[in-house]
Structures are given as C-alpha cells and as structure tokens.
Structure 1
Amino acid sequence: MKPFFPSLTTTLFKSLSSSPPKPYLRTISSLAPLSHTSRFAPQQYLHLLDSCIDTEHLILGSQIHTRILISGLRDDSFLSAKLIALYSLCGDLKTSVSIFDEFPSCNVFLLNAMIRGYSSNGLYHEAVDLFHRKRKQGIKPDSYTFSCVLKACASISDLSQAKELHELAVECGFGSDLFVCNALICAYAKCGSLEDSSKVFDEMPQRDVVSWNSIISAYGFELEAVQKVKMMFRSGLKPDQVTIISILSSCSTTIVVREVHGYVLRMGFENTSVVQNGLISAYGTCSRVIEARRTFDSSSLKDRVTWNAMISVYAQNLLFEESMQLLRDMKLHGFDVDVVTYSGIISSFSQNDLSDKAITVFAELLSTGLKPDVVAIASVLPAISGLSCLNYCKEIHAHSLRHKLEPDRRVQNALVSVYSKHGEIQCAEQVFKATGDRDVISWSSMVVGYAQNQYFVEALNTFREMVRAKTEPNSITITSVLSACAGVSGLRLGKELHLWAIKNIFEDHSFVGAALIDMYAKCGRIVESRRMFDLVKDKNVVAYNVMIGAYAFHGQGENALEMFRTLEEPDHVSFIAALSACSHGGLVNEGMEIFNSLKNFTVSPREGHYALIMDLLARAGRLEEALDLIGTMPTKPSVEIWGVLLGASKVHNNLDIGVYTGAQILESKSVSSGYYVLLSNMLAECGRWQDVEVMREMMKEKGVKKCVGFSWIELDGVVHSFVAKGGAQYPEGDGLFFVLSILNEHMKEMRS
C-alpha cells in the first residue's frame, strides 16, 4: 500500500532549525516515504505545524498529527494547541474539540487555542462560555486569553459581557496591558459604547499604532477621527496603512479625502492596492465620481477589489449605465466577475431605493450561472420589499434553504423584515424563531414587523424577551416599541422607555424624540407630548409633523395650524397632519386654504390629501362638493376615498350619493367588511330590506366576514387584550364575565 504521508528527512529538519521559508512545504511531496521507526523532536513538529497553519494544509497537518501520536507526544500541550489551531482554521472544529476535551489537564495555551478555534468558526457564545467555565475550574487567563475572548464578545455585540470581562481583566492584573486595552477599545466600539472605548483609550499608560487605529476606527465619524489622527501625530507616531483605511472609511467630505490622498502620495503608499481601493470608495462616498475614476485609472495595481470598488462608486451615485459598462470592461480585462461584484451593485441600488434596477442586476447574476451568496441575498431582499413582490421573496427564501444560506443571520434578518413589510407576519415569525444567534437587528426586525402590522401586544412581548436575553436595544427598537405603546396606550412602559432613552443618550435622536411625542399624545398626555417636543434640540420636519398630528388627535386644530404655519418647507406629511387637524376641528375654510396651497410648496397632491379634504367637506355636509372633487383627482379613486364619502352619506342621510359610492366600492371587489355593513345599515334605515338581503348574500358569496372587535387594558405593567365574544380565549375569562354579570345585576337594581 502506497504511503499517503511523504517522508520527512534529516536534511529537511536541519533546514527547519534556521527558520525555513514557507515554500519548503512544496518540496515535501517529492520526498521518499516516511519510515515508521522515525522519531523527531517536538520542536521540529512545531515548525511543521506552523507552516501547515500558515498555508492551511489540512492533509499534511493530519498526517503530522498521526506521527505525533505514534511518537508518544499526545500529552505535549504546545503540539496539541497547534493542532487545535490547525483543525479549527481548516473548518474541522469537531477534531479540535476532541483534542481539547481529551487532553489530560487543560492549561492556558490550550484554552487560548480553543477560544480562537470557536471564534474562527463563528461560535462566539461558545468561546465566551468556555472562558468562564475554565476560569471557574482554576485556569488563570493571560493577556492573550482576554484579547481572544474580547474579540468573540465584540462579534456578538454583548456590552454587558464586555464590561464583565473588563472587570475580570483588571482583577487579574491586565487592566493596563497594551494588548488587552486594544481589544477592549474594539469590543466596546462594536458593542456600541463609544464612551467606554474612549475611557479605556484615555487611561492607557502607553499606546502603539494599533491603539490609535482602534480608537480611530471606533469613532467612525469624520470630525472625531480627524482629531484623533492629529493627536496621533503629536504623540510621535505616524499613521500606517491601517490608519489610512480607517479614516477613509469615515470620510464624508471631499477636503478630508484629498488631504489623506496627499499624505498617501508623500508617504509612498500610492502603490498599495488596499489604499488605492479605499481612496476610490471614499471619493465615491463624497460623490466625487470623476476623482474616483481618475484614481482608478492611475492605479497600476488593479485587482478584482479595485474594479468592484469603482463599479460600486457608479452604483452608489445612481449611474446605472456606467456601472454596468464597467462590469463588462472588467470581463474584457480578464477579471472574473464574481458574486461580490454583483452584490456591491445590488446593495447600492437597494440602499438608494432603485429596487427595479437592483432586481435587474440580480437577474443578470443568475443568468451568468453564478450562485448568489449571503451578501447578494441579503442585499436583494430589501429591493424586493420596495417592489412589493412577495413571490420573489418566497423564491429567494427557497433558494436560501436549498443552498443552506438561510441559517445565516443576515439572511434571516432580511427575510423577517421583508415578510413583515408584505404583511406576512406568520412567515416572519417562523424565520425569527429559527434564528439561533439573535443580534440586536434580529430582535429589532421582529419588533418593527409586529408594530408595522399593528400587532402591538406581540411587539411589546418580543421586546421584553429581548431585554431578558440581555440584548441592548438600539434607536430603531425603541422607536418601534414606543409605537406599540402608543397603539395600546401603554403609558407606563412608554415612560420607562423614555427614562432609558435619557440614560442612553437616545432622547435627542430625531426618530426616538418623534416617537416619544407620538406616544404621549396617543396615551392622552398632550401636555407631556408638547414638553417632549420642546426638549428636542435639533427639530426636523418629522418632529413638527408628529406634534401637528398630536394636536389634531386631541382636537386642538388651532394649535396644530399655528405650528404648521411655522414650517418653512413642509413636506406631504405636514400637509396630511394639518388637513387632519382641520377635519377633526371642522375648520373647512382653513382646510381648503391649506389644500390649495400645496402647489406653492411644490408638493403634489396625493391620495391622502384628497381623502382628508373630502372628509372635511363631507363632515360639513358638503357632499356634492366632495363628489365633484373626486373628479379632479389625477388618479383613479381608491376604495378608501369612496369609503369616506359613503360614511358621510350615512351621517347626513343622503341615500343617492350613498348608493352611488357604495356601487363604486362593490365594483372594486373590496373584501373589507366595514363598507358592506355601512351600506347595509344605510339601506335598512331607509326600509330597503330587499336590498339588505342582497347585500348579506353578496357578503356570503365573497366570504366577507365582519371583523371582531377587541380592546386593551394595562395592569401591573402588562397589556391584556380582550376580544368581543371571546371569553374562552382569555385564561381568566369565566371569572371576569362572572364579575361582569354581578355588576350588571347591581346596575339593574340601582335603576329600579
């Protein structure tokens, strides 16, 4: 039988003692078979394993593993640590765990290797759990241990865990260790706590280039990053290529990019491809397409990443034809167009709401025979939600399942978001429940989905689960939960979230501030709503719109219009809020004036504006005028528009217009039970019982069912939901209805 493992001669091992170059591995295959009686020193095996790790040569490494076992070196902790690192790096985590578990006594070297092994395979929770478990068993971590476990902690964005590890590092005497502090800066930054990152950096007794690079990368904002670079110069250290890449990724103004470009030229970094690629992307971010192209053309080291960067620049700046032409040029220059290239274009178009173009590029990706990867799938899904193509979403979901991409958290998060936007909340739930390692985006996507579809109680319950899972919410989560609180008038939880927002400096976030204004208003606290509005520092049009809507909700039309008139550039939502205030307050003349002023602000009238002005006219009994207004609409009136007029016809007993609008609704094949019931009641009041019977038969034929009413009440911080005639659905329903029956009897006695 021909030996699988080639010979390792004495000559080869002599060369190892003088730090052999990595290419020596290529000569191994030409050597004679290894003798079964050969024995080598542990140091020689260490050199070989290091080279296997560098080249990710698993086959050779496994054969060296066999020779180590034959040589009786199974209990050598240094060799075992190298083997754990090799198998983990090559994706064979099962063998790594087996070596670790079977070793007679664990030490810090083995622990470090296993923590890295888990992390390199994406099992960050397992890495952190192993650290704590072995520490309790008496293993004393070193500085490298803390560096490894902090990187794992950063990958799962667990701030509380990062703080706990920081405290342990201080207890173990590594609070000022350079490598641990560098790891802490990165961990805190990725967990969203820039304050803690800065504190660690400021308290470091010594700093190296890595320290400065870590804090510059942590800031992610141009102004702060530039200030840190200036401080780095004053400390006597010069930015390296990593520094340049970090600051370029945060650049948003052309002047800073040009300054960095000048530094690159002075320091001779222009021939480094990664720097050139960073400059191209930075110019693209600043919308300096010409300068990005000039940098691209001047690069003598164009690689696939360089082409991808320039293609993405065109896509980011909505130059669809140019990006596709460069894609074709890339092929002509002999570069294989890969999934990464297409993913960059798809992502750019999706982010700029060019959903149709994103779908077109995705279709071309498929036509080339390439298989979409995780990034391509996660990038195209938002575009699908923009086009409202549910079937596409299901097809891509099926593709993800077939190719085992669906377990990836990025794909799962995108699927939850898309299904929710299509109203398929059950599908979103299924994907969410299958998500194992949930991050803040996973939880937020589900909370947002519930809130968007008015499943407010479910949104609040999911948020509570998120808190119990010790996942720190972000501004999107808080905004959605506040929306759910507003939906069920959950004032107590809303106040708790307000306090949390103040504590975590989220109160000044424009969307959080607007959500707080809306929450207080819908919970009946208009005074607190206005107070919240006054506290918002940078008031944008969103805050004004919400406050105008809040006044409208409380029937304070004059206050709403007074605030509306202070807006210099109202948007279409501002007009909707103002018209709603007029409608609720019966301010017909003011409403018509606002509606007619739309053209003065270059805001095209939309269906929502027509619906509100029609509602205003209809409430005032001016039904004929409202009906005439429908004829001026630039688009075909929707069911909702006719529904407004139908409701007003019933209120004002105008059977002719009511029957006419009802016929328009029936022709639209609407399945909304409210319109059928409304028209049926109107016909019944006029004694047209035969028509009422026809309506009921029509509802049966179309499967239209009357929606069940329900209500909420908050008790002891928990929102309880009650469904009409659904006592059996509530755990304590029998007892509640028993109490209600007693109260009814008491009320009857009092009346008698």
Structure 2
Amino acid sequence: MKQNGIYPDHNVYPSVIKCSTHLMWVKFGASLHGSIIRVGLEMDLFTANALLSMYAHHVFDKKSRVLDGMESVRRVFERMVERDVVSYNTVVLGYVKSGMFNEAMGVIKEMGSGGIKADAFTLSNVLGVVKERMDVLKGKEIHGYGIRHGFDENEFVVSGLSDVYTSCNMVEDSYRLFCSLRQKDCVSWCSMIAAYVQNGLFDEGLRLFRQMISAGIKPVPVSCSSIIPACAHLTTLPLGQQLHGFIIRSHFDDNMFIASSLVNMYAKCGNIKLAKYIFDSMKQHDLVSWTAMIMGCASHGHAYEAISLFKQMEVEGFTPNSVTFVAVLTACSHAGMVNEGLTFFNKMVEHYNISPEFEHYACIADLLGRAGKLEEAFRFLCKMPENKTTSAWLPLLAACRVHKNVKLAEKIVACINEFDSDNMGAYVLLSNTYSSNGRNKDAANLRSMLSKKADRKKPACSWISVEKKVHAFSAGDESHPYYVGMINILDILFGHMVKQEYVADYTAPTVC
C-alpha cells in the first residue's frame, strides 16, 4: 500500500493493529505505534483504543526492548485527548489480567469522575477484582447497579456475579441469580453446577445436572469435569460409571481435565485398577492427573507405587505443588517410611520452596506417631506457624492411645482445648487412651461429660448404597426398617467370632 504511494489513515491503522495483536507480532505492533506517532494519528480515538488493546494483551519481556505491557497501556491512555467506555474497559481488563487489582479499581473510579457510564463489559471486568478480594458488599453494589441499568440479564455480568457469590460461600444468592435468568444457556448451568460442587453441596450439584439434561441442554466437557468431583466425594460409583459412559459416547474421554477427574473419582470410589487404566491411557498428563494418581495409590496402601509415580513425574519435568506433597507424604505415612517421609518434607521446603501447611505437618506427625516417636512428633507439630488446627493434632493423639502414652495425650488435649474446646474427637481419643491404660474411672468421667455435650451435637452419620438405594445410619438411631434383622445378623457374627477364639478388645471403647 505504501509502495503505491497510498498512506494508511485512521481507518486502516486500527485494523492492522488488531491483526498484529491476534498474530502476537510484538515488534511489528511497536513499529506501527511509531508510524502512528510520525503521521500524527496518536490522538485519534479508534487508533488509540486499538493500541491500548494491543499492549493490554501483551506483557513484553526485556529482550523485545519494549516497555512492560501495562506501563505502555498507561502511557497511551494518559496521552489520549478523548476517551470512551472502550478505552477505560481495555485498561481495566489489562490490569485485572495482570493481577493489579488496586490499579484496576483506581481506573474505575477515574471513569466515574470522567462522566463515563459503565457498561456490561466494565461490570464483568470489575467483578473479577471483587471476586479476588472476596468483597461481597462491593459485589452487591455492582449487582444493584446492574439491575438499575438493565444489565441483570447479561450473561457475562450474571456469570461474574455468580462467581463473586460462590467465592464468598453465598450459594443461595448465586442460585437466586441463576433462577432469575429468563434464558439459561450452557454457561449459566455449568457455573451454577460448579458453584454447588465447589461449596461441598454435591447432591444439589447432581440434581442441577439432571435438570440441565431434562431442559434439553447438552453437557459440554466443562460441565462434565464440574460434576465428576461430586461423584468422587459422595463415592457414588454407579453414578460415576454412568457419567463415564456418557463421556465416552460424547467423545469427551480425550479431554485431559475430564480424564484427570475420572482418575480421581475412581480412586476415591475404591476402583484403583480402573483409575490406573485411565491414567495410563491418557495421551498427555498434567499435574492434576499425576497428583490424583499418586493420592489414589497412597490411599489404597500402594506406597511404593505412589513414590515411584512421584519420581517419574519429576523426571518428566513436572514441578510438584503443595497437594502433590500431601499425597506422597500420605503414602510414606501409611507404609511407615519415616526416613523417606522426612526426606520428602525437607525436599518440599528446601528444593521447591513450598511453605508447609497444616496437612503436611499432620502427615509427618502421623508418620512419626505410627513409628512410636511420639515426643518427636509433638515437637514437630509445635513448630507449626499456626498450630491452631485440631485435625493436625488428632493423628498424634490417636497414636498416644496405641502406644498408651497418657501423659502426652493429656498435654495434646490441653493444647487443643486452648483454641477448640468443643471438639469431641479429642476427648473421645483421650477417653480411649484412659481405657487402654486401665484408668476406667477417668474414662467414665470423661464419657459422662461427653454425653452432656453430645446433646448439643448432631450425631454422626454413615451410609451405604445397596441395589441403587442409599441406607443411612446414625448413632442411637433404631428407625431403619431392617434394624432388628441387622442386630440378629450381628449376634450371629459375634457367635462365629467366639468359635474362632477371637477376643475383642473392649479396653478402648468408642464413645458416640
């Protein structure tokens, strides 16, 4: 075009800049910027907006000799004589993608001062900031603004609000927002299903998934990967198998995220062989699939295989994260591999610079406790930066019962009582420790205190699925229709145990 003596104008440059942005031609885009300055089109609104978009999409490195993307965006933005809502939206989006949330909120305020009204794109961008900050009050403020200006039906705004409410554990508000939509597409269904599952409402997530199918919405890979964890946590293997069959029929089984979810689901549901088969069949692995497989092997007692997988993962160039180390430490704990467990813990801290969390401390404490190194485990837990987590202390307390160390058990319960005095599990274990040492009077006194506390607690519940029907049982509940029959079967089993000369250990009763 230039060779023919025709010079680009304000209609040409924005299109060319857009092409360079999509093609990721960084240096070419920078040269276009120089050309625009030379011909005096830098003040043109559409050209400047195109430049903003280009810089906002790229954060350039030092080798390209171009300034950091957001610094370039700010410079172009500040030189603009005229700005519109697109200009502000582009800058806000750039800051959000760069994780510079304070700067993004500053531009939003600047936008209001400049008399520019926010549109749906602005709201969806700023909701990303609100979600990261978990600022539910600001989220509700934006929700109200959206309703007043007619953006409450916009799918991007609704999706952003749903994410805010979900991150703040306000699933009911997210569901009301979902129900208010006149037309629900696959994105809105998937967002709501993911909200339920992420907040531990697995039954509700499954119910909504069924409703989506009944409404004629065809599931996509994202919806499948969102609902599989619900089957894993509920250990509903038949339902998970049905979902797996649907995934195969829909040709989603090649999806890496779905395959990783299936590995995790089958491992948690007890079918470690099928989990391993799916893992080995994957064309490509990610850190999630490696971690799921390692944890699956660890949970099923295949400690050596779990450690072998961990080392293979490192050889293939994957960097383990915090969850991966929980998996391999769990394997060491279950197998009693004390030296290996401590080696992995030190490697996590010194080699990978990962700060230990209470799960890692709990694994090491459990490992040392199983090996009888109770005092060492106690000193190890005392090193925790925040040792106000009961679940980290309970494995060691259980080890005190096994090794009949009453003195340390009392010390641990005293520690737990400082920050969690209502935890019944600690008192149950202490009572069992008393019983195992013949201190029946102390155990009886503690059980008496527990029975008074138990009146204020909801009893624990367990369940089993038999012939597609779930049977639930709770402590002291005799309402099951087959209760009498089950008691008779238990009497028969106890009779067989006596004939086999099995002597039950009644010195450590479980307090319900």
Cα displacement (A) at 1:701: 5.9
Higher mean displacement: 580-589 or 499-508? 499-508
Judging changes above 3 Å, is the alpha-carbon distance between structure 1 residues 330 and 383 closer, same or farther for their aligned structure 2 residues? closer
- Is residue 14–residue 46 contact of structure 2 (8 Å, CA) maintained in 1? no
Equivalent position SS for 1:472 = coil
Whole-angstrom CA distance in 2 between matches of 1:690 and 1:650: 14
Q: Does 1:317 align with 2:105?
A: no
Q: Does 1:573 align with 2:323?
A: yes
Q: Does 1:464 align with 2:210?
A: yes
Equivalent position SS for 1:565 = helix
| Aligned twin of 1:549 | 295
Deviations 1:514-562 (A, max 9, x none): 1111112223222222222223233222221111111112111111111
| Aligned twin of 2:87 | 306
| Aligned twin of 1:383 | 132
- Is residue 460–residue 481 contact of structure 1 (8 Å, CA) maintained in 2? yes
| Aligned twin of 2:365 | 614
- Is residue 409–residue 437 contact of structure 1 (8 Å, CA) maintained in 2? no
Whole-angstrom CA distance in 1 between matches of 2:440 and 2:138: 47
- Is residue 381–residue 415 contact of structure 1 (8 Å, CA) maintained in 2? no
Judging changes above 3 Å, is the alpha-carbon distance between structure 1 residues 293 and 456 closer, same or farther for their aligned structure 2 residues? closer
Q: How does 1:421-570 map to 2 (within 5 A)?
A: 421=167, 432=178, 436-504=182-250, 506-566=252-312, 567=314, 568=317, 569-570=319-320
| Aligned twin of 1:677 | 428
Q: What letter corresponds to residue 265 of structure 2 in structure 1?
A: M
Cα displacement (A) at 1:615: 1.0
2:114 to 319, 335, 343: 335
Q: Does 1:687 align with 2:442?
A: no
- Is residue 545–residue 577 contact of structure 1 (8 Å, CA) maintained in 2? yes
Whole-angstrom CA distance in 2 between matches of 1:263 and 1:495: 60
Cα displacement (A) at 1:607: 1.9
Deviations 1:344-390 (A, max 9, x none): 5x866xxxxxxxxxxxxxxxxxxxxxxxxxxx5x44652354xxx67
Higher mean displacement: 674-683 or 585-594? 674-683
Whole-angstrom CA distance in 2 between matches of 1:581 and 1:633: 21
Whole-angstrom CA distance in 1 between matches of 2:95 and 2:246: 41
1:659 to 410, 425, 433: 410
Q: Does 1:625 align with 2:376?
A: yes
Judging changes above 3 Å, is the alpha-carbon distance between structure 1 residues 486 and 323 closer, same or farther for their aligned structure 2 residues? closer
Whole-angstrom CA distance in 2 between matches of 1:562 and 1:523: 22
Q: Does 1:592 align with 2:342?
A: yes
Cα displacement (A) at 1:313: 2.8
Equivalent position SS for 1:713 = strand
- Is residue 671–residue 704 contact of structure 1 (8 Å, CA) maintained in 2? no
Deviations 1:121-163 (A, max 9, x none): xxxxxxxxxxxxxxxxxxxxxxxxxxxxxxxxxxxxxxxxxxx
Q: Does 1:282 align with 2:54?
A: yes
Whole-angstrom CA distance in 1 between matches of 2:444 and 2:24: 65
Judging changes above 3 Å, is the alpha-carbon distance between structure 1 residues 307 and 428 closer, same or farther for their aligned structure 2 residues? closer
- Is residue 18–residue 54 contact of structure 2 (8 Å, CA) maintained in 1? no
1:713 to 456, 465, 468: 465
Equivalent position SS for 2:351 = helix
Whole-angstrom CA distance in 1 between matches of 2:307 and 2:124: 41
Cα displacement (A) at 1:240: 8.2
Q: What letter corresponds to residue 54 of structure 2 in structure 1?
A: A
Q: What letter corresponds to residue 418 of structure 2 in structure 1?
A: E
Judging changes above 3 Å, is the alpha-carbon distance between structure 1 residues 496 and 267 closer, same or farther for their aligned structure 2 residues? farther
Deviations 1:247-291 (A, max 9, x none): 578566635756987999999998863453243123212122344
Judging changes above 3 Å, is the alpha-carbon distance between structure 1 residues 723 and 634 closer, same or farther for their aligned structure 2 residues? same
Identity score, percent: 29
Judging changes above 3 Å, is the alpha-carbon distance between structure 1 residues 293 and 492 closer, same or farther for their aligned structure 2 residues? same
Judging changes above 3 Å, is the alpha-carbon distance between structure 1 residues 646 and 706 closer, same or farther for their aligned structure 2 residues? farther
Judging changes above 3 Å, is the alpha-carbon distance between structure 1 residues 292 and 414 closer, same or farther for their aligned structure 2 residues? closer
Deviations 1:275-316 (A, max 9, x none): 532431232121223443454466565334324423543453
- Is residue 96–residue 128 contact of structure 2 (8 Å, CA) maintained in 1? no
Whole-angstrom CA distance in 2 between matches of 1:740 and 1:336: 74
Cα displacement (A) at 1:394: 7.6
Judging changes above 3 Å, is the alpha-carbon distance between structure 1 residues 316 and 460 closer, same or farther for their aligned structure 2 residues? closer
Q: How does 1:228-243 map to 2 (within 5 A)?
A: none
Judging changes above 3 Å, is the alpha-carbon distance between structure 1 residues 745 and 316 closer, same or farther for their aligned structure 2 residues? closer
Q: What letter corresponds to residue 459 of structure 1 in structure 2?
A: G
Q: What letter corresponds to residue 635 of structure 1 in structure 2?
A: E
Cα displacement (A) at 1:712: 3.4
Cα displacement (A) at 1:625: 0.9
Cα displacement (A) at 1:674: 2.6
Equivalent position SS for 2:347 = helix
- Is residue 298–residue 330 contact of structure 2 (8 Å, CA) maintained in 1? yes
Judging changes above 3 Å, is the alpha-carbon distance between structure 1 residues 687 and 590 closer, same or farther for their aligned structure 2 residues? same
Judging changes above 3 Å, is the alpha-carbon distance between structure 1 residues 537 and 723 closer, same or farther for their aligned structure 2 residues? same
Whole-angstrom CA distance in 1 between matches of 2:382 and 2:189: 46
Alignment RMSD, CA only?
4.4
- How many residue pairs get aligned? The number is 472
Judging changes above 3 Å, is the alpha-carbon distance between structure 1 residues 749 and 292 closer, same or farther for their aligned structure 2 residues? closer
Q: Give structure 1 stretches of 5+ with no counterpart.
A: 1-238, 349-375
Equivalent position SS for 1:720 = strand
Whole-angstrom CA distance in 2 between matches of 1:721 and 1:407: 42
Judging changes above 3 Å, is the alpha-carbon distance between structure 1 residues 247 and 449 closer, same or farther for their aligned structure 2 residues? same
Judging changes above 3 Å, is the alpha-carbon distance between structure 1 residues 382 and 274 closer, same or farther for their aligned structure 2 residues? same
Q: What letter corresponds to residue 131 of structure 2 in structure 1?
A: P
- Is residue 299–residue 331 contact of structure 2 (8 Å, CA) maintained in 1? yes
Q: Give structure 2 stretches of 5+ with no counterpart.
A: 1-10, 60-68, 500-512
Whole-angstrom CA distance in 2 between matches of 1:320 and 1:273: 26
Cα displacement (A) at 1:691: 6.2
Whole-angstrom CA distance in 2 between matches of 1:546 and 1:426: 30
- Is residue 490–residue 719 contact of structure 1 (8 Å, CA) maintained in 2? no
Q: Which has the larger radius of gyration?
A: 1
Whole-angstrom CA distance in 1 between matches of 2:91 and 2:402: 62
Equivalent position SS for 1:653 = coil
Judging changes above 3 Å, is the alpha-carbon distance between structure 1 residues 417 and 318 closer, same or farther for their aligned structure 2 residues? closer
Whole-angstrom CA distance in 2 between matches of 1:573 and 1:740: 40
| Aligned twin of 2:4 | none
Judging changes above 3 Å, is the alpha-carbon distance between structure 1 residues 301 and 411 closer, same or farther for their aligned structure 2 residues? closer
Q: What letter corresponds to residue 321 of structure 2 in structure 1?
A: D
Whole-angstrom CA distance in 2 between matches of 1:638 and 1:713: 33
